[in-house]
Amino acid sequence: MEALLDYAWLVVMLPLAAAVLTAAFGRLMPLRGSEFGIALVGVAWILSALIAWQTFTSGTIDPVEHSLAWSPLGGGFVLEIGMLVDGLTSMMFLLVTTVSLLVHIYSREYMAHEPRFTYFFAMLGLFTFSMLVLVIANNTLQALIGWELVGLCSFLLIGFYWEEKSNQDAANKAFLVTKFGDVGLIVGVIVLSIPMFSIVEDGRAFNILALNEAAAAGEIANSSIVLGMLLIFLACVSKSGQMPLHVWLPDAMAGPTPVSALIHAATMVTAGVFLLARLYPVMAQSATVMMVIAVVGVITLFFGGLVALVQDDIKKVLAYSTVSQLGYMVAALGVGGYTAGIFHLFTHGFFKALLFLGSGSLIHAVHSNNMSDMGGMRKYMPHTFWTFIVGSLALAGFPMTAGFFSKDEILVSGQIWASNGFVTGDLVFWVGLAAAFVTTFYMARACFLIFAGEYRGGHDTHGDPDVKHQAAQAAGVDPEVVGHGEAEELAAVSAVGHDDHGHDDAHGHGGHHEPHESGPQMVVPLVILAVLSLLVGYIGSPVWTAENSFETWTATPILEEATYPFLDDGGDHGGDGEQALQGGGLLAAGPVLAAAEGELHPEVLHGPPSWHFDVLGLAMAAFLAALALAYLFYGRGRRDEDPTMQMGPFTRVLVAKYGLDTLGYKAIVVPVRDKLSGWATYTSNEVIDKTVAGTGLAVMRAATTTYHVVDQRVIDGGVNGAAFSAAWWSDRLKRLQSGDVQRYAGAIVAGTIVLVLAFAAAR
């Protein structure tokens, strides 16, 4: 079994093989290429499961690292391509391959009527490969390659329905916004590698393990760490949808729903969180970095969640919920909750994938993204109903679901950080609690609107002027005044879901029909994910009393030793957690809150979780209050007087998404379009084109001159002159050959005489 970890690269390569085979032969196959993806990702899933089992049962293991080194430039500059397998890697493997496999199966039915079915599956395989490349990377440059590849796949899949302009715009927006952060990643990676060149001996300056070790040993200057990690965090902000660069993520819902589940909920958007976790020993060196990360996370988790309150498009609700949950993860990492953050990543991957796939099932049945077109769906789609409810409960943190354990662990991490004397800890705790209320409320709202009441769909809502007008009014903007793109944008907020309409219309069903439950290929993944959403939380919960838990799984030897250097090192705090647990006294759904008030917790790992009834009580109170409020408003499934749309300026701010999109449109898109593109055109036409043309003209003239002067006169003249002179001379010299033998004889005699005289003179 040990040797199994050496073959972890197979998990990465199998989806690539699937992508290549699908792209090459998919059209010829009976199942149009989906068999490659399902079979090979299935094998990859089995391998990942074995690897996960291996790493889980053996506790915190030394990472298995293999790499090929390449030194193209010499001089101690080494590039690597390699694998780093530890608990964190295998956890991500399990998450990515599980969700990817289920999405593959689900898409067979969901995408069945797509003309670009095979292309879609090839892209899914390529994305899975890219994500795994990022996860397995043993050096930051390889991680960067995977990072860019997932960005590319995301771009291609968001723009899957590229026939509609709005989808192209969404793809471009996602690509450009994340690309902005990618610049930070490149520069950050380089900044961190510079001190590493003098630390490592074999030139592997980008090696992640070496970087973590050097940082934990305090060998890297603080300035390098702060600059490098903040730049890398910028990449996380853009990729993991943190404010204010989250703007692309809701728009990314233009892609097919399975893509939203796989890429924009479960895996790709967590890449930033994963990267922070991977470099956690580096990040933990600087209080500044952790504070920035925590503050951004807190802002995101609260304000991202609020926007979900006013969305009508079910996918947008889930998208803003994803933004908010990613904020939780990032905030957790920023307040020292390493285990809590990636635990939430893990559980969120399952239940958010479940919610997206469930919403896909609804959209498939109703042919609309809008909750206002649903209602009463419990009757028509019982399986979708209960799985969606399970996912919502997990997201809202209902006790004993996966989201409950991970979210409460984040809150407790906030408490512990607060006891270290950081105000960000309190922020995470209280704002996190408030956002939990918001989360419960918007998920309850969505569930009531979708499943309770009567079915409101069945009529065509395309271009419904009332809804558009209402949306524009709510945003406080006159629809006539704003630009086209803006109006579309606003309309999409609460009116028509462009996203899945185009392809659903191709089904040929008319608008008037009763929705029906999806087929087994869509329901089975939902059920599996629902079961997982209930169960995966247990391995990190106080219920799980085995020696190996989520924390020992994902911890690394470096992290076990690591402490926060900016805290006073108490030296012997290490034993506190265990002692407290053995004492059996404190109970919390989170790590042990061990010692007395004011005592510091400089260790990165918090020890095994236990119950925390104070946190549990507050969280439950928030949950019940939100649920009750939501039932009061939406319990009968009504929507014509949606209270969240009637909160005056508050609603306007939320519908306008804090004006970030408008700001981006006015501050970036418009200037770029109107000014920058003009300058670019001017530069291109006037400066570059003219330079090129001028250069060409000058070269042409020089060539003409050369031709006339050098070629025609010097070279041709030389050649012709040689010929002419030869002819001229030969014409004269030939007369010596007179044919008169006696003249020759006379010449010989004369020559002899001359020679004799010459010799005589020379004597």
Partner 1 sequence: MSPLGPLLLATLLFCVGVYGIIARRNAVLVLMSVELMLNAVNINLVAFQNLVWVGEEAVSGQMFALFIIAVAAAEVGVGLAIIFNMFRNRASVNVDDVDLMRW
- Residues of this chain that interact with partner 1 (CB under 8 A) are 734-735, 737-742, 745-746, 749
CA separation (Å) from 628 to 66, 270, 348, 448, 733? 54, 32, 24, 12, 125
Q: Which is nearer to partner 1, 1 or 750 (CB)?
A: 750
The minimum distance between CB 752 and partner 1, in angstroms, equals 10
The minimum distance between CB 735 and partner 1, in angstroms, equals 7
The minimum distance between CB 729 and partner 1, in angstroms, equals 13
Q: Which is nearer to partner 1, 545 or 742 (CB)?
A: 742
The minimum distance between CB 714 and partner 1, in angstroms, equals 34
Give the whole-angstrom CA distance, residue 503 versus residue 484.
Answer: 24
Give the whole-angstrom CA distance, residue 264 versus residue 131.
Answer: 12
**β-strands 64-70, 590-591 pairing:** unpaired
Alpha-helical runs (H) found in 26-164: 34-57, 87-110, 117-136, 140-158
Alpha-helical runs (H) found in 540-612: 550-554, 557-561, 576-583
Task: Print burial letters for 569-592: b (CB count within 10 Å at least 16), e (below 16).
Answer: eeeebeebbeebbeeeeeebbbbb
Q: Which is nearer to partner 1, 678 or 746 (CB)?
A: 746
**β-strands 609-610, 64-70 pairing:** unpaired
The minimum distance between CB 695 and partner 1, in angstroms, equals 58
Give the whole-angstrom CA distance, residue 162 versus residue 246.
Answer: 22
The minimum distance between CB 736 and partner 1, in angstroms, equals 8
Cα pseudo-dihedral 398, 403, 408, 414, rounded to 10 = -140
Q: Which is nearer to partner 1, 1 or 756 (CB)?
A: 756
Q: Give the residues across from 605 on adjacent strands.
A: none
Give the whole-angstrom CA distance, residue 123 versus residue 23.
Answer: 9
| Torsion over CA: 637, 255, 351, 514 (sign) | positive
Give the whole-angstrom CA distance, residue 190 versus residue 184.
Answer: 10
The residue type of 199 is: I
* CB of 208 closer than 8 Å to CB of 278: yes
The residue type of 464 is: D
Q: Which is nearer to partner 1, 547 or 740 (CB)?
A: 740
The minimum distance between CB 708 and partner 1, in angstroms, equals 39
> CA nearest 326: which of 273, 274, 397?
273
Q: Which is nearer to partner 1, 484 or 735 (CB)?
A: 735
> CA nearest 5: which of 100, 138, 202?
138
The minimum distance between CB 702 and partner 1, in angstroms, equals 48
The minimum distance between CB 738 and partner 1, in angstroms, equals 5
Q: Work out the number of other CB atoms within 10 angstroms of the CB of residue 504.
A: 18
Q: Which is nearer to partner 1, 74 or 739 (CB)?
A: 739
Q: Which is nearer to partner 1, 617 or 746 (CB)?
A: 746
Q: Which is nearer to partner 1, 717 or 746 (CB)?
A: 746
Q: Which is nearer to partner 1, 698 or 748 (CB)?
A: 748
Give the whole-angstrom CA distance, residue 659 versus residue 247.
Answer: 10
* CB of 108 closer than 8 Å to CB of 521: yes
The minimum distance between CB 751 and partner 1, in angstroms, equals 13
Query: Residue 465 has which token pair?
Result: 């002027």
Give the whole-angstrom CA distance, residue 415 versus residue 245.
Answer: 28
Give the whole-angstrom CA distance, residue 81 versus residue 68.
Answer: 5
> CA nearest 522: which of 318, 256, 258, 253?
258
The minimum distance between CB 745 and partner 1, in angstroms, equals 5
The minimum distance between CB 709 and partner 1, in angstroms, equals 39
Q: Give the residues across from 410 on adjacent strands.
A: none
HSE of 96, CA atoms in CB hemisphere, 13 A:
34
The minimum distance between CB 758 and partner 1, in angstroms, equals 19
Q: Which is nearer to partner 1, 24 or 750 (CB)?
A: 750
Q: Which is nearer to partner 1, 520 or 746 (CB)?
A: 746
> CA nearest 367: which of 447, 277, 462?
462
Q: Which is nearer to partner 1, 732 or 763 (CB)?
A: 732
Q: Which is nearer to partner 1, 481 or 741 (CB)?
A: 741
Query: Residue 430 has which token pair?
Result: 């209280």
Q: What letter would DSSP give residue 115?
A: T
Q: Which is nearer to partner 1, 7 or 728 (CB)?
A: 728
* CB of 232 closer than 8 Å to CB of 279: yes
Secondary structure of residue 419 in the 3-state scheme: helix
Q: Which is nearer to partner 1, 572 or 740 (CB)?
A: 740
The minimum distance between CB 746 and partner 1, in angstroms, equals 5
The minimum distance between CB 697 and partner 1, in angstroms, equals 55
Length of the chain: 763
| Torsion over CA: 423, 425, 428, 430 (sign) | negative
The minimum distance between CB 726 and partner 1, in angstroms, equals 15
Q: Work out the number of other CB atoms within 10 angstroms of the CB of residue 618.
A: 18
